[in-house]
């Protein structure tokens, strides 16, 4: 635990250093790059710091995970990283967009990778009232409600529902969203 905390602190420092660097860059008046470019560069730097941290012990991996979604049909992450020693995992999905769920609804559905296509195509016919999921679909490990802009939903499920030898994915089951809105569920120490 101490080891993990130390890594967290180190990663936090690295991130802080990143942020500080980009702030001083933007405040320099003779900076040639437009502010938006600087922001993009800084975001990808941050992403690579997180990625390299996850090799050893991800700072993103927790028993509580928050994922945002938006009106551009995107999740805020392509990965849900769960610490292997979590007993339960809690996932909160937020929707920072403005569109209603009938037009731009999002949920987080977790299945085995090989079950994804079947769950999506079966769910489509059940409509927005059933969150675009077949009721009691046993292939679904966990799923939030379908939410619209400004809403959120939180689910908690035992990590024992996931077989660590299997490959799991998460996605949004709203028709047409899965291509843009899916990612991997991974375990990290």
Three-class DSSP labels, the chain? CHHHHHHHHHHHHHHHHHHHHHHHHHHCCCCCCCHHHHHHHHHHHHHHHHHHHHHHHCCCCECEEEEEECCCCCECCCEEEEECCCCEEEEEEEECCCCCHHHHCECCEEEEHHHHHHHHHHHHCCCHHHCCCCCCCCCCCEECCCECCCCEEEEEEEHHHCCCCCCEEEECCCCCCCCCCEEEEEEEC
Closest approach, Cβ 69 to Zn ion, in A, equals 6
Stretch that binds Zn ion, among 9-17, 123-131, 157-165, 173-181 (CB under 5 A): 173-181
Size of the site for Zn ion (CB under 5 A): 4
Contact between 174 and Zn ion per CB under 5 A:
yes
- Kindly identify the residues of this chain, within the stretch 87-106, that bind Zn ion according to CB under 5 A: 106
Closest approach, Cβ 41 to Zn ion, in A, equals 29
- Kindly identify the residues of this chain, within the stretch 103-132, that bind Zn ion according to CB under 5 A: 106
Contact residues for Zn ion, defined by CB under 5 A = 106, 172, 174, 177
């Amino acid at each position: 635990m101490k080891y993990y905390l130390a890594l967290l602190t180190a990663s936090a420092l690295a991130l802080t250093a990143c942020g500080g660097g980009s702030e001083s860059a933007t405040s320099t008046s003779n900076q040639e790059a437009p502010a938006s470019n600087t922001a993009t560069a800084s975001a990808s730097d941050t992403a690579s710091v997180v990625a390299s941290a996850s090799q050893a012990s991800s700072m993103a991996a927790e028993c509580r995970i928050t994922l945002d979604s938006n009106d551009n049909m995107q999740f805020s992450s392509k990965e849900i990283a769960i610490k292997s020693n979590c007993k339960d995992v809690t996932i909160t999905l937020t929707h920072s967009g403005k569109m209603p769920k009938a037009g731009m609804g999002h949920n987080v559905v977790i299945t085995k990778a090989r079950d994804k296509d079947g769950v999506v195509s079966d769910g489509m016919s059940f409509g927005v009232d059933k969150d675009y999921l077949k009721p009691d679909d046993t292939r679904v490990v966990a799923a939030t409600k379908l939410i619209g802009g400004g809403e959120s939903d939180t689910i908690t499920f035992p990590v024992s529902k996931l077989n660590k030898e299997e490959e799991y994915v998460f996605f949004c089951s709203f028709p047409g969203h899965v291509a843009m809105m899916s990612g991997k569920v991974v375990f990290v120490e």
